[in-house]
């Protein structure tokens, strides 16, 4: 996606080792026009998959997730990382290990929002090792739904998430794929 690629080139800051800071349009300040285009692009790519719901994870997945859900005309759910005080109903819980942060978090989704047979599109801002995406997929499958695909805004292709998710049988669509972040320079996967 060219617009996103330009945004990464112009505004992305490489924080060594292997971390890209994009807090001017995705992780802190958010660009609604770019997010609208992200939603449209995922909708084009996953047209015909019969998607009934979008599932993402707080906090940075919410913007691309809601814009995708708007275009697909379906609801969006975000998995929570902390148990909400008002979330008293039955919940699905999955453990997600972050290699970046070296910690395990529990993510939760209320059981009432995913029905058996639901076709769920998972959306997230970054794909690194794929732990978050696998956790979300396990929740969909626990609920008796199926994963229609996984839409990623920025993939770090030098980490194994994409390969592992594809080996597990999931369709992964990443809007930009980063090959390297060496010496402060963003290298893109040529495709």
* Residue 168 lies near ligand G4P (rule: CB under 6 A): no
List CB contacts of 155: < 8 A, sequence separation 6 or more: 126, 127, 161, 162, 172, 174, 176, 177, 178
Please, which residue, 52 or 159, has the CB nearer to ligand G4P? Answer: 159
From 36-44, 54-62, 141-149, 164-172, span contacting ligand G4P (CB under 6 A): 54-62
Residue 21 contacts which entry, Na ion, ligand G4P, none (Cβ below 5-8 A, type-dependent): ligand G4P
Beta bridge partners of 180: 187
* Residue 130 lies near ligand G4P (rule: CB under 6 A): yes
From 9-17, 37-45, 58-66, 178-186, span contacting Na ion (CB under 5 A): 58-66
Among 79, 125, 143, 165, binds ligand G4P (CB under 6 A): 125
* Residue 124 lies near Na ion (rule: CB under 5 A): yes
* Residue 130 lies near Na ion (rule: CB under 5 A): no
Minimum gap (Å) between residue 114 Cβ and Na ion? 19
Among 13, 98, 117, 166, binds ligand G4P (CB under 6 A): 98
Annotated binding site for xanthine: 20, 27, 156
Contacting residues toward ligand G4P, per CB under 6 A: 19-22, 27, 59-61, 98-101, 125-132, 156, 161
Contacting residues toward Na ion, per CB under 5 A: 60-61, 124-125
């Amino acid at each position: 996606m060219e617009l996103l690629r330009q945004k990464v080139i112009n505004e992305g800051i490489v924080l060594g080792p292997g971390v890209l800071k994009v807090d001017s349009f995705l992780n802190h300040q958010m660009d609604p026009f770019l997010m609208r285009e992200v939603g449209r692009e995922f909708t084009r790519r996953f047209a015909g998959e019969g998607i009934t719901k979008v599932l993402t994870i707080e906090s940075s997945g919410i913007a691309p997730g809601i814009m995708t859900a708007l275009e697909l005309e379906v609801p969006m759910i975000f998995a929570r990382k902390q148990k909400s005080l008002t979330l008293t109903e039955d919940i699905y819980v999955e453990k997600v290990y972050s290699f970046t942060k070296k910690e395990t978090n529990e993510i939760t989704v209320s059981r009432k929002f995913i029905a058996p047979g639901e076709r769920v599109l998972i959306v997230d801002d970054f794909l690194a090792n794929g732990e978050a995406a696998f956790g979300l997929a396990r929740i969909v499958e626990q609920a008796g739904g199926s994963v229609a695909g996984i839409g990623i805004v920025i993939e770090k292709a030098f980490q194994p998430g994409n390969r592992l998710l594809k080996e597990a049988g999931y369709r992964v669509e990443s809007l930009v794929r980063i090959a390297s972040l060496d010496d402060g320079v963003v290298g893109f996967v040529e495709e």
